[in-house]
Amino acid sequence: MVVPNIVDASGRSKFHNSPRLPEPMVFDLVLPLGAKKNEFELNTLFQYDSEHKAALINPEFEYAYTDGYGIEFELPTENLSVDAYKLALQGTFNFLNTNKFIHGWQYYGEYHRHNKELENNLLYIAGYQFNEKWDTLNMVGIRFTDVQSEGHVEELVNSSLFYSYSSNLIMGLEVNWESRPNRPDITLVMPQLHVQVAKHAKIQAGFGMKQVGRETFPHVATRIIFGF
Half-sphere exposure of 50 (CA within 13 A, CB side): 14
Instruction: Decide if pLDDT at 11 tops 70.
Output: no
What average pLDDT does this structure show over 56-65? 98
Q: Residue 121 forms beta bridges with which residues?
A: 108, 143
Of the two residues 101 and 10, the one the predictor is more confident about is 101
Q: Which pLDDT does position 147 carry in this prediction?
A: 56
214 vs 197: CA distance, rounded Å: 38
Average pLDDT of the chain to the nearest whole number: 92
pLDDT of 7: 41
- pLDDT tens digits for range 106-157: 999 999 998 888 999 999 999 999 999 999 999 999 999 875 556 688 999 9
Among 150, 207, 139, CA closest to 178: 139
Distance CA 189, CA 76 (A): 21
pLDDT value of position 3: 38
pLDDT at 6: 40
Looking at residue 28, what is its pLDDT? 87
Grade residue 66 by pLDDT with cuts at 50, 70 and 90. very high
CA–CA distance, 190 with 182 (Å, rounded to integer): 25
Q: What is the DSSP letter of 10?
A: T
Q: Provide the pLDDT for residue 36.
A: 96
Confidence (pLDDT) at 122: 98
pLDDT(88) > 70 = yes
What is the structure's pLDDT at 38?
Answer: 96
Domains of the chain: 40-227 (2.40.160.40)
**Dist CA 177 CA 94 (whole Å):** 28
Q: What percent of the chain has pLDDT over 70?
A: 93
Report the length, in residues, of the chain: 228
C-beta separation of 19 from 99 below 8 A: yes
DSSP category for residue 11: S
Q: Which tens digit of pLDDT belongs to each residue from 31-44? A: 999 999 999 999 99
Separation CA 64–CA 54 (nearest Å): 32
Residue among 29, 8, 50, 49 nearest 127 (CA): 29
